[in-house]
Amino acid sequence: MRLLALCVAALLLVSLVFTTVPAFAAPDTASPAPETIASATREAAYRGNFKSKVFHKADCRHATCKACTKVFTSEAEARAAGYHPCKVCLGC
């Protein structure tokens, strides 16, 4: 019985070792570089909700909704497109 328990423990240890990611694995190339994120944030300073015609700052908690797909680089651009500012992040 003790031998069986040792074998099971050894198998669990071996499976744990082979299912973990090795330390020498290549870094994840899918994540963009920080400078890419910063430039994208600058370009898309505002996000507009095409349903409600409200625009938000890119970091507003309401800017992540599924309908916030329109991207603006300035408030003037958003207003010219017929959008009005968010009451939470723009205080209007």
pTM: 0.52
Please give the pLDDT value at position 84: 94
The predicted pLDDT at position 1 comes to 73
| Residue 17 domain-assigned (yes or no) | no
Whether 55 and 48 have beta carbons less than 8 Å apart is answered as: yes
| Local confidence pLDDT in tens for the 92 residues of the chain | 776 766 666 666 666 555 555 555 555 555 554 444 444 444 679 999 999 999 999 899 998 899 989 999 999 999 999 999 999 988 86
Residue 68 and residue 61 in contact, taking contact as beta carbons nearer than 8 Å: no
Question: Domain residues for 57?
Answer: 42-92
pLDDT of residue 28: 56
Nearest to 81 by CA among 63, 69, 64: 69
Residue 31 CA to its chain's centroid (Å): 10
Contact 77, 47 (CB under 8 A): no
The count of structural domains within the chain is 1
Domain assignment present for residue 76? The answer is yes
